[in-house]
Amino acid sequence: MEISSGRILNDHSAHPAQMKQNIIKSFIKRNLKLTDDKYEKEISLKIKRILIENNYPVKQIEKLIKDVLFQKHSNIIHNNNVQQNQDPKFVSLPYVKGLTEKIQYDMRNLENNIKFGNQPLKKLNTIFTNTKTKMRVPKYGACYLIPCKGNNGVQCSCCYIGETKRDPILDRLPEHVRKHKKISNGISNPTTDACLNHAIIKKHNFDFENFKVLDYVGNHFIRKDMESLYIHKYGKSAVNFKVDTQNLGESVKGVVQIFNKYS
């Protein structure tokens, strides 16, 4: 068992006696305090040999080794009186049965003025994370799409394209849902609302769960143009009235047709 390179400040060196005493004292402590009891004798002999080779008196070495071992086994390791009067240091350690006790024992050997607080490895807040749904930050102005899901096993590939200056999910979607609920309550006259109109005439249901925001656009004019472009892009699938694309220039429609052809 290797404990040191064997190089330590020689007792014949021109250093203060107290300094050399402290050096060999900490050398002995360092090597003995964390040593398992069954290796103490072996390590003590090695310490003794190294210190003798560095010209320290045998009696001094033996006394220091004896003192350190006494302190270690009585678990009263006070470096000096000042340290005894210091406030205890508090250390928080996670508790793992069998391991934490050993770590605490070893740490007390190095630092007597220490108190431990144990905490379970898993705290409740690591198991139950914040389950609150995060509040959506409103985002104003968007074009959106609501797919139709047909009815009674009849599939429908239509969709409604809309735009709003408000938040599409927080404000506009609930409005659509409320309007469509009225259909089941007996209100079935055709309206100017293209989405509602399709639902009433075809007796179809819109798939509000798959409500999709196509683009967030704050500017009113750009948003209107974009809505028209989307309606044009979806062509016959869009249940919107033709008037919704009236403000779209013919050249733009041509561009969209080319885009649709090659995309």
In this complex, which beta carbon is closest to Zn ion, that of residue 41 or of residue 181? 181
Member of 148, 173, 217, 226 binding Zn ion (CB under 5 A):
148
156 binds Zn ion (CB under 5 A): yes
Query: What is the footprint of Zn ion within residues 202-241 (CB under 5 A)?
Result: 204
In this complex, which beta carbon is closest to Zn ion, that of residue 55 or of residue 191? 191
C-alpha–C-alpha distance, residues 27 and 22, integer Å: 8
146 binds Zn ion (CB under 5 A): no
158 binds Zn ion (CB under 5 A): yes
Cβ at position 183, least distance to Zn ion in Å? 13
Cβ at position 254, least distance to Zn ion in Å? 29
Query: What is the footprint of Zn ion within residues 61-80 (CB under 5 A)?
Result: none
In this complex, which beta carbon is closest to Zn ion, that of residue 125 or of residue 184? 184
Of 95-103, 143-151, 241-249, 253-261, the segment contacting Zn ion by CB under 5 A is 143-151
Instruction: Summarize as ranges the residues that interact with Zn ion (CB under 5 A).
Output: 148, 156, 158, 204
